[in-house]
Amino acid sequence: MGYVEIRMAARADGPKMQPTELVTKVYDAVETGEYEVIADELTAQVKAALSGPVEALYPELRDTRAPLVAVEE
């Protein structure tokens, strides 16, 4: 969930959802028996990215694929 236009997020930069829009999306989801609410674009992007490889979320991991070496005690 991204930012919602409330006092707590007043100084946050970036797009903010109106509280009424969030409540409407939650009520709609409850009424239709949904198990989750994808209320904003940020949440939709994160959910979509989670189904892909972890390197898609964290590109910096692509360069760290060193082979694992057994450590003897």
The answer to whether position 42 is within a domain reads: yes
Q: What share of the chain is helix, strand, coil (3-state, %, to 5)?
A: 50, 5, 45
What are the tens digits of pLDDT across the range 52-71?
Answer: 888 877 888 777 665 656 67
Quick one: pLDDT at residue 27?
A: 96
Quick check: is 73 in a domain? no
**Is residue 45 one of the residues assigned to a domain?**
yes
Quick check: is 30 in a domain?
A: yes
Query: pTM for the full model?
Result: 0.64
What is the number of domains present in the chain? 1
- Is 72 among the domain residues? no
Is there a contact between 48 and 42 (Cβ–Cβ < 8 Å)?
Answer: no
